[in-house]
């Protein structure tokens, strides 16, 4: 399996990133009381992108990229191009461990009172071909080289021990994706021009 990079120089006119939650609802046969149980470790990201009025060169780049994916055979790295990196650190932070929704990190540039990461911002835990995209749920202010990040979705595909020393990607929080199905993408032509190009993809843990 080959991992490709999405051509991020081509900016979509519309994009939707969704964290798809996995829940199971249980209903009591006695009093009809319902309870939903969440399985955050099974949650995954889904992205839908639309590109309007592509130039011919952009159309060729995207067509070449899609053809290399060979449907859902290969995966690719992509990040939300609307993301703005506001983490004020000149170093590369890394994971020390995690417990539940708390991710313990080290290696930040020591700046008192400076925001390391804001609530709602993306970051990726990465090592080699391992990528997991997360979103911060609380603002973290700097008080030293160490900080704790509250994040969602909770949990990782690796244990706390295995995740140690994995770096945090802040400026390009990649998500490892694959096409949602084998019928992607969809090019629409009008009057000899490429009117738009759309495709959907989902997070891959392969």
DSSP labels, the chain: --EEE--TTS--SEEEEEEE--EEEEE-TTT--EEEEE-GGG-EEEEEEEEES--HHHHHHHHHHHHHHTTTTSEEEE--TT-------SS--EEEEEETTEEEEE-----TT-EEE-TT-EEEEEETTEEEEEEESS-EE-SSS-EEEEEES---SS-HHHHTTPEEE-SS--EEEEESSTT--EEEEETTEEEEEEEEEEE---
Cis amide leading into 90 (omega within 30): no
pTM, two decimals, is 0.84
Residues 70 and 100: beta-carbon distance below 8 Å: no
pLDDT tens digits, one per residue of 182-199: 887 777 777 666 777 888
Calculate Rg over the CA atoms of the chain.
20
Give the number of residues written for the chain. Answer: 206
| Cα distances (Å, whole numbers) of residue 28 to 25, 31, 32, 191 | 10, 6, 5, 59
Residues 126 and 118: beta-carbon distance below 8 Å: no
Alpha-carbon distance 119 to 28, whole Å?
37
pLDDT value, residue 174: 94
Give the chain's domains with CATH numbers.
3-79+175-203 (3.30.200), 94-169 (2.40.30)
Say if residue 87's pLDDT is above 70: no
pLDDT value, residue 192: 65
Alpha-carbon distance 59 to 140, whole Å?
41
49: tokens are 């992108």
Sign of CA dihedral 183, 184, 187, 188: positive
pLDDT value, residue 201: 94
89: tokens are 């650190």
pLDDT tens digits, one per residue of 134-177: 999 998 877 788 889 999 998 888 888 899 999 999 988 999 99
pLDDT tens digits, one per residue of 120-136: 999 999 998 899 999 99
């Amino acid at each position: 399996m080959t991992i490709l990079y999405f051509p991020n120089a081509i900016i979509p006119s519309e994009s939707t990133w969704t964290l798809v939650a996995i829940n199971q609802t249980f209903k009591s046969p006695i009093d009809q009381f319902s309870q939903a149980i969440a399985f955050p470790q099974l949650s995954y990201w889904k992205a839908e992108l639309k590109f309007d009025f592509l130039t011919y060169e952009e159309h060729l780049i995207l067509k070449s990229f899609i053809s290399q994916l060979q449907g859902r055979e290969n995966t690719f790295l992509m990040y939300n191009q609307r993301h703005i990196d506001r983490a004020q650190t000149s170093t590369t932070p890394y994971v020390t461990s995690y417990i539940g929704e708390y991710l313990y990190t080290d290696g930040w540039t020591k700046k008192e009172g400076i925001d390391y990461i804001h609530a709602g911002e993306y970051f990726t835990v990465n090592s080699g071909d391992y990528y997991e995209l997360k979103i911060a749920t609380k603002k973290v202010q700097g008080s030293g080289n160490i900080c704790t990040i509250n994040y969602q979705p909770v949990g990782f595909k690796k244990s706390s021990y295995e995740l140690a020393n994995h770096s945090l990607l802040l400026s390009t929080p990649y998500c490892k994706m694959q096409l949602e199905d084998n019928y992607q993408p969809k090019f629409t032509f009008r009057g000899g021009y490429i009117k738009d190009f759309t495709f959907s993809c989902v997070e891959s843990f392969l």
